[in-house]
A and B are shown apart, each in its own frame.
Chain A
Amino acid sequence: DTGVSQDPRHKITKRGQNVTFRCDPISEHNRLYWYRQTLGQGPEFLTYFQNEAQLEKSRLLSDRFSAERPKGSFSTLEIQRTEQGDSAMYLCASSLVGLGADTQYFGPGTRLTVL
């Protein structure tokens, strides 16, 4: 049984560059979430999908951020024109809605550093 996987685990980029992260959820999970976590803080919600539909976006998700889940399986999170303030851990989680408490299981995260 494989858990949530994320790629890459670490990304260092220069300010102004675009970056894309990938998340593969637990097989059969229909919901997929993106969170951002800065040092010393708990994760903050960015957006989530149910199957391929993006159902909710946080105000934290500026116009430079876009997320997709085209086939209802893996998801990508793209950040355009990165800024130093984008440096954070980007976490992906998945859940199976309709059974129990819709518990979210997290991946290992992608650590982004913007120089």
Chain B
Amino acid sequence: EIVLTQSPGTLSLSPGERATLSCRASQSVSSSYLAWYQQKPGQAPRLLIYGASSRATGIPDRFSGSGSGTDFTLTISRLEPEDFAVYYCQQYGSSTETFGQGTKVEIK
């Protein structure tokens, strides 16, 4: 199974700053079948990005995804107060889908 490793574990930033989250796969992710989710306490995950770089419906353009193969990045260009949350990457290109362990973006 493909193991996804997210870094850093925690990112401490201020509103207005840029956030860069990394997701590294143990083997190449087929056809860039990589997604990013945001999760807030007590809520279900929310799909942000699919296909490595396509924004889901209704997702603000300050969220962007990039990468291919084994290295992927989620960038939040300017953090808004509502963006402080946990972010997960997920690969769905193999028969067993897997999630990364998450990156918490917290207010500095």
Do A and B come from the same complex? no
Binding site for A on B (CB under 8 A): none
